[in-house]
Amino acid sequence: MPSTKGKKRCRVGVVGLGMGRAHLRGYQSVPDCEIVAICDIDKARLEAVKEEFSVPRTFTDFEEMFAMEDLDAVSIALPNYLHAPVTIAAAKAGKHVLCEKPMAMNVKEAESMIEAARSAGVRLMMHFNFRFTPQAQMLKKYIDNGEMGDIYYVKTGWLRRRGVPGMGSWFTQREKAGGGPLIDLGVHRLDLALWLIGHPRPKLVLGSTYTKFGDKMAKAARKTYDVEDLACGLIKMENQTTVFLEASWAGNSEKAEEMYTQLFGTKGGAEQRNQGEGYEFGLKIFKERHGAFEDILPRHLPAGESPQQHFVRCIQENKPFIAPAEHGLCVQQILDALYLSGQTGEAIVL
């Protein structure tokens, strides 16, 4: 792991203490980084997390936290509808931002976040954490080394048999989440696929969205559910690569939780897939050599940086992020087009 020894200490804060706790764990192991503040409107959560991570200052108002002078950077792990306004507020206060996925509710918001960071002269990174798994990092090495040849087809998805997060909470309300499993889970797989294949420009998007279970489950529990529970789509790139994406919170599939990415290249193929039904991944590479098929199973993969280590180091060394805000915008453009296509039944030309 690259050292940040001797670099200016980075003083960080976290807003939103659900997923924000994972950010705090990430920052805890970063050299030359100090967790100075946390913020959440849920006072019980705030107190519990303050105790757990021994954080000196707590806030229920993010504006007050951003007014701290001895705060350099913040993680924003809030419900999706707050990503844009809170990122913009942090940028205006001169704080670097590590923003949770999805970047925003729509492209317009994502663009305004980039503009706010640019005009304030602060850095904005997306928390696309699935890029940081050892298997994703290793696969990227194979691809960038030319060992897969030209990749012309990618198939990827995250499917849950029954796994709606927070039924009735902001997750299942369109005005607060922007959508269902596509913007929640599909966003990770889409981002990973685009990063692996080097972000070719998307040209055409055809998507479908369905609500077959969530609304009925919600009705029985007297909760709000107005998002899809399964989405799928095709994205055709200008370089003729095709990406197929699928995501569900509920559907009659075999596994409780399935995450996969399959790549088809002229010199090799690959499959990255979660093991069992958990969050550990496996990687297989498929080649043909000397007239025979060859399956490669990379093992003992080196653990790289965490997203928080990367975020802090790139700020300290003034290096580009692996997951800059522009990649978040690109993902958002495709998500918006998939939703629009799902609504209209038409293909969307970007």
Q: Which residue is nearest to ligand NAD (CB)?
A: 18
Site string for ligand NAD, 124-163 (x = CB under 6 A): ---x-x----------------------------------
186 binds ligand NAD (CB under 6 A): no
Q: Which of 80, 224 has the CB closer to ligand NAD?
A: 80
Which of the stretches 41-49, 142-150, 197-205, 330-338 binds ligand NAD when contact is defined by CB under 6 A? 41-49
Residues 85-124 close enough to bind ligand NAD by CB under 6 A: 100-101
Out of 35, 38, 73, 78, the only residue in the binding site for ligand NAD (CB under 6 A) is 78
Which of the stretches 13-21, 89-97, 195-203, 276-284 binds ligand NAD when contact is defined by CB under 6 A? 13-21
Which of the stretches 9-17, 118-126, 219-227, 337-345 binds ligand NAD when contact is defined by CB under 6 A? 9-17
Out of 14, 55, 71, 77, the only residue in the binding site for ligand NAD (CB under 6 A) is 77
Measured CA to CA, the distance from residue 123 to residue 316 in angstroms comes to 11
63 binds ligand NAD (CB under 6 A): no
Out of 13, 16, 180, 186, the only residue in the binding site for ligand NAD (CB under 6 A) is 16
Out of 13, 26, 79, 186, the only residue in the binding site for ligand NAD (CB under 6 A) is 79
Out of 15, 120, 139, 218, the only residue in the binding site for ligand NAD (CB under 6 A) is 15
Least distance (Å) from ligand NAD to the CB of residue 33? 19
Measured CA to CA, the distance from residue 223 to residue 220 in angstroms comes to 8
Least distance (Å) from ligand NAD to the CB of residue 163? 12
328 binds ligand NAD (CB under 6 A): no
- With tokens 């200052």, the residue in question is 57
- Residues in contact with ligand NAD, counted by CB under 6 A, come to a total of 21
Q: How far is CA 247 from the centre of its chain?
A: 14
Q: Which of 16, 251 has the CB closer to ligand NAD?
A: 16
What are the beta bridge partners of residue 230? 210, 248
Site residues for ligand NAD per CB under 6 A: 15-19, 39-42, 45, 62, 77-80, 82, 100-101, 127, 129, 184
